[in-house]
Chains A and B, each alone.
Chain A
Amino acid sequence: MKYGMVIDQQKCVGCTACVFACKAENHTPEKINWCDKIIKQGGRYPDIQFEYISTMCNHCDDAPCVKGCPTQAMHKAEGGLTLHDPDKCIGCKACMVNCPYGVISFNWEKPHQRWQSDIPIVTGGFSGQSMLAATGGVGSPQSNPESANQYPSIRSRGTVEKCTFCAHRLKEGLNPACVDACPSKARIVGDLDDPDSDVSKLINQYDGQPLRPELGTNAKVFYIRRYTPQRN
């Protein structure tokens, strides 16, 4: 079993629903997006180029972040996923320097500070603390207890974090949150070891390529049907 993802560039409309779904699912801190996008624009009018590339951790088979991590905090896990153990992270940032895709983020400041505030967001409304008191919850009112089974929803300062492919959802047989949130079904997740899976078929049919294939990282996120309109 080896999880992989296909992103259909002609179906992707750049709505960033995946970015928001990931944020809600994984309670990522304010300035950190596990699921993100690269926007490329260039050329001169009328020959302009624009490309929107939805991106996240590529869960590389030959992951430079795993090789570089001195403490095994970044490691390969079941299903070929590249996961991170924050308890082992010493904040050396080697994974960030090594990642050729720039998708690992660092908690420079203490994350999730606002939920501890007693000041309501709007006058007369709830503050983080009063909402917790009202609901009898723990941690942050925004955190997702299901994802917290796999990864702490309140992170420490001085550690890195990145996309887990929603490992907690995959375990339950569900799709990653970004896949389910995509309105145009541009994202498909599946087993790359199974030649009959949708992902394998799509990669074969459209010659799916990962980002920066020349580096030989064997990334597991493939892009098909890159949007290259031709003028007649």
Chain B
Amino acid sequence: MQIQHKSLLAISVLGVLFGGFFAIEEWFFHASFATTDAMIWTLPLLSYIFLALASTGVSILYAYGSLKQIASIEKHKLSLLGLALGLLIGAFAALATEMGSPLHLFWLLLSPNFISPIWWMGTLYSIELGLLAVKLLMLLLDKKSPLDIYLTYLTLAVAALAGLVLGSVFGTVIGREGFSGLDASILTLICALSTGVAMILLTQSGDDRHFYISAARWLFALLCLFVTLKWLYLMRAHVAIEPQWLHLTQLLGVLLAWLSVKALPRIAAALLLVCVFSIEFAFVIQGQLAVLGPKTSWFGSVVNYQANLAEMGIFIFSISVAIIAVNIIVQGVPYLQSRR
């Protein structure tokens, strides 16, 4: 078996070791993140959100393309499935550290609260993981089943719902102006689709990318429009004081990615991913900047946040896990098929 991307894989293994140290520290020894009772959700959760939404976007594009029998998607089924699955595995790796134990991901399913957006989000992403795994297995075994089309419809529906529900985790928080509202779900879905297509553009080469470039132009434009509207709305709303340069930079970044995606698809995709990460980061943090209620550990009503080394380690850990998982799937499946 010829292993490709050896350098990237070697860096990813180092990333797993580096971030894994902090994951083990968090799971078994003591709290190492910069979280407090005011800044509750930080970079580890954001790593989960970013990867889960990227996986959602890839899943939606993959399922839509399969149903519409778009040639470029049919041709790259394995790499798209591998990308969606690998990103989701990376997302779950980040979430497992954020929640203090990998076992907590399973406990979530056992005592359901059907009105909790977090329960639905966890359950939908678990179903998504299962569906993608089944699709991959069918591909590996070269099984053709009449159920396949239903599985693809289900994958599309579950991915879209998961993306929306992830936003509702924040959108249903009535006590925090920065989170509350339907726009949270719209933001996560648009971010999911944009990052999904950007991930595909970044990882695939060849001349058959017209569908993705066309999708990217629409989706990047949609994101650009939404970010502009949100920024204009926030400028007039009563929310925590934020530096305006950040919004402007994000907006210009998305605009530049949109304008350059046809000529420089990979560079535009990379730029878009950085911008979306920044947008999601700002969204998660700004809702928590105003402290609610009494707390004993600090004095003041507005806090700030800077990720510490352990949190950056978890970010690297989850990205590295995702890269390794994607490569294992994309390179391992053809090898296993050839062995059969």
Seen from chain A, the residues whose Cβ lies within 8 Å of a Cβ on chain B are: 31-33, 36-38, 55, 64, 67-73, 88, 90-94, 96-103, 105-106, 108-110, 157-158, 212, 215-217
Contact = CB atoms under 8 A, between A and B. Distances in A.
B288 interface: yes
B30 A110 contact: yes
19 contacts: A55-B293, A64-B173, A68-B118, A70-B112, A70-B113, A90-B108, A91-B100, A92-B108, A92-B118, A93-B40, A101-B293, A102-B38, A102-B291, A102-B294, A102-B295, A105-B37, A157-B100, A158-B100, A215-B175
Interface in B20-59: 30-31, 35-38, 40-41
A36 B108 contact: no
B181 interface: no
A36 B295 CA distance: 8
Nearest to A108: B31
A71 B119 CA distance: 7
B6 to A, nearest CB: 38
A102 B292 contact: yes
Contacts of B237: none
A55 B104 contact: no
Nearest to B301: A40
Interface of B: 30-31, 35-38, 40-41, 99-101, 104, 107-108, 110-113, 115-119, 122, 169, 172-176, 179, 287-288, 291-297
Contacts of A69: 113, 116, 118
A157 B31 contact: yes
Contacts of A90: 99, 104, 107-108
A212 B287 CA distance: 17
A36 B115 contact: no
Contacts of A99: 175, 292-293
A32 B111 CA distance: 27
A85 to B, nearest CB: 9
Nearest to A72: B113
Nearest to A64: B174
A71 B174 CA distance: 20
Contact of A102 (B30, B117, B293): B293
B37 A91 contact: no
Contacts of B175: 64, 98-101, 212, 215
A55 B30 contact: no
B273 to A, nearest CB: 26
Contacts of B104: 90-92
Please list the 8 inter-chain residue pairs (A to B) with the smallest Cβ-Cβ separation, ordered nearest first.
A102-B293, A100-B175, A102-B292, A70-B119, A36-B294, A158-B100, A90-B104, A70-B118
A94 B296 contact: no
A94 B111 CA distance: 15
Nearest to B292: A102
A71 B113 contact: yes
Contacts of A36: 293-296
B180 to A, nearest CB: 10
A69 B172 CA distance: 12
Contacts of A68: 116-118, 172-173
B116 A94 contact: yes
Nearest to B38: A102
A207 B295 CA distance: 28
A108 B35 contact: yes
Contacts of A67: 113, 115-116, 172
A96 B37 contact: yes
B307 to A, nearest CB: 16
B49 to A, nearest CB: 13
A208 to B, nearest CB: 19
Contacts of A37: 294
A132 to B, nearest CB: 24
Given A96-B37, A98-B175, A55 B294 contact: yes
Nearest to A104: B37
Nearest to A67: B115
Contact of B292 (A100, A110, A217): A100
Contacts of A31: 296-297
Nearest to B118: A70
Given A97-B173, A108-B31, A157-B100, A32 B296 contact: yes
A14 to B, nearest CB: 13
A6 to B, nearest CB: 19
A215 to B, nearest CB: 5
The residue among A38, A98, A99 with the most chain B CB atoms within 10 A of its own CB is A98
A33 B113 CA distance: 27
Nearest to B174: A215
Contacts of B113: 67, 69-72
